[in-house]
Chains A and B, each alone.
Chain A
Amino acid sequence: MNYFLTEEQQAIVDISREIAQKKIKPVREHYDVTEEYPWPIVEELRKADLFGVYFHPNYGGLGGGGMELCLVMEEISKACAGIALSIACTALCAFPIILFGTPEQKKRYLPDLASGKRLGAFTITEPEAGSDATATRCTAKKDGDFYILNGTKNFCSNGNAAEIYTLFASTNLKRGARGISAFIVEKGTHGFSMGKKEVKMGIRASPTYELNFDNCKISKDNLLGGEGHGLSVAQGTFDISRPGVAAQALGIAQGALDETLAYAKMRKQFGQSVLSFQSSQHMAADMATQIEAARALLYTVTKAMDHELLQAVEKSEKSGKAVYDELKQIASRRWTKYSAMVKLYCSDVAMKVTTDAVQLCGGIGYMRDFPVEKFMRDAKITQIYEGTNQIQRNEIGYALIKELSQK
């Protein structure tokens, strides 16, 4: 299917595919088993400039948007969704800075994130605050020119590999949701330490950590957006970051289908190829159709979002105002509904397709030394993180009701 990619976008696909197929495929099992961090692969991704595809050239980026990030995520995830997270988590750290950062914050943090010199992470979840981010207990107490962070964050993807973190903490517990603020925290800040490392079902090449803050003192210049605006920073970020998860899910689904077709064609039962049975063909047909529908939705929404986002980024570079403020000038409505649809649909497709892929491969599909079961394990998280699919449905339902009331 021709999606009319630009020359640059096609180059991104070609390079990402070459790295995925030549460099990642041979080692993905190793990282899945050992849970080591794939630094040699990260180095390949750095050298190929893939960390910088969605950053403005002023920070050393290629000048692309969400679409470019999605293309990288899709291709890398076809080989290993866990390794793809090195880029996705860095993006999730960078997006709030791109959208809400001051010119100084952008100059200070974006170049290293764009080159991949320093990786990023995003941390909002807490033991008691998951889907309900308003239950945040981690606090940031103002103290002169500083904030003092105290509390625990958990399930932080890219955990100890990252060096720059965007973090959400309450600057005023009494105000609940309106008391949450966003901050940028650097690794090595006194009072900031790694807690336990989680052992996970999938995406095992990506380290998930608990983060502890014990009287961790950060400059007031690290406040991202205004005090009490944290939830809006998180929501604005998710609007543009969720397609990245969708692209990861899409890559997982496509990767699983590719492996499955190759195997089913070769595998002989009753004297013929398994793929020659109509029951297999119908399963494969459904998988391929769902994948193509997911891709069409993802690309359409992401291209439309980029149309506004890239204008806002360009304007912000000239005006010095935050990208998010420029975005609101261009269009008053948010992208929440569509980005939720994309994330919901692609991840549900990934789960369905990978489950069917294991079924179609039969016994070998269930075995660890065949890659299809890994795709199934990796697919599950895409229905959970960056907002569970139940939350995505809430967002879509809420948007539908709001649209009705405006008619």
Chain B
Amino acid sequence: MHIVICIKQTPATSNVQIDPKTGTLKREGMAAAINPFDEYAIEEGVRIKERVPNTTVSVITMGPPQAEEALRDAISRGADLGFHLCDRAFAGADTYATSYALQMGIRKIEKETGKKISLIICGKQTNDGDTGHVGPGVAAWLDFPNVAYVKKVEEVSENSIRVWRMMEDGTDIIEMPLPALIAVVKEINEPRVPSLRGKMAAKKAVIPRWTAQDIEADKTKIGLGGSPTIVASSFNPPPRTGGVKIEGTTPEEKAKNLVAKLLEMKLL
């Protein structure tokens, strides 16, 4: 198998400033690390590699020169190869332009390595942008099926994958053919600490740096210019209030408990 993991280097803090002029995030001078949700994506990719023989795990990121550190960190945690999309032309991209550039990069990874891509794994969202769009966006550009909010990879083979999707009201079990994309939640695993060998390999790894031209990107679809999104304003949504879960071992018992509850609230 060939697994590609999309990661992003984000500020190592939850206190991200927004540039009032552009509506984009201010990243200069902030300590950076792998987006925490992407750590689960890397771990899951490496675990699949440990389960399925002859699996290669590639990692891709788009970002400024220092984002290479995030790729080396991913290699120290068990990934094999790193690829860096780095060009001023990519700057200011929204989720549309980002997912476009990433999928062009992924196509180039397939071409360069000669290994057909079977699975793309993303974190469910980043801790700075918080949209959760990029993963499914990449899948749409590539015409891959995708499942977001994955909390378990139950089965994986060369041709198909069966995953558990975390929903508000329970779990969906979904099987889909490969190649496909999954976006994972933090419940999926517990990321490992880098190994010594991994860390040494990461220091020596040669990480290609690709420009917009290298990945043959359409200039009108990348960067700030290629981003149709206009951020009108940003605010924190009010927290959702929790509902009441009606307990019971059988449907009959649950129905009985529901009626009792409604009677208690004088609604019946």
The chain A residues found within 8 Å of chain B, CB to CB, are: 7-8, 11-12, 14-15, 18-19, 22-23, 44, 47-50, 52-53, 62
Contact = CB atoms under 8 A, between A and B. Distances in A.
Tell which of B193, B195, B197, B200 has the most Cβ of chain A within 10 Å: B193
Nearest to B78: A47
A53 to B, nearest CB: 7
Closest CB pairs A-B (n = 7)? A49-B196, A11-B199, A18-B193, A48-B195, A49-B195, A19-B193, A49-B197
A50 B203 contact: no
A249 to B, nearest CB: 24
Residue from B194, B197, B200 having most chain A Cβ neighbours under 10 A: B194
A11 B196 CA distance: 7
Contacts of B197: 49
A15 B196 contact: yes
19 contacts: A8-B200, A11-B196, A11-B199, A14-B199, A15-B193, A15-B194, A15-B195, A18-B194, A23-B193, A44-B192, A47-B192, A47-B193, A47-B195, A48-B193, A48-B194, A48-B196, A49-B195, A49-B197, A53-B196
A50 B197 CA distance: 10
B192 A7 contact: no
A75 to B, nearest CB: 12
Interface string B184-218: 00000000111111011001000000000000000
Contacts of A8: 196, 200
Q: Say which size band chain B's interface belongs to.
A: under 10
Contacts of A11: 196, 199-200
A198 B192 CA distance: 33
Contacts of A19: 193
A346 to B, nearest CB: 25
A53 B203 CA distance: 18
Given A11-B199, A15-B195, A44-B193, 16 more contacts: A7-B203, A12-B196, A14-B199, A15-B193, A15-B196, A15-B199, A18-B193, A22-B193, A47-B192, A47-B195, A48-B193, A48-B194, A49-B196, A49-B197, A50-B196, A62-B196
Nearest to A12: B196
A19 B199 CA distance: 14
Contacts of A14: 194, 199
A22 B196 CA distance: 17
Contacts of B195: 15, 47-49
Interface string B248-266: 0000000000000000000
Contacts of A47: 192-193, 195
Interface in B197-246: 197, 199-200, 203
A49 B198 CA distance: 9
Nearest to A8: B200
A15 to B, nearest CB: 6
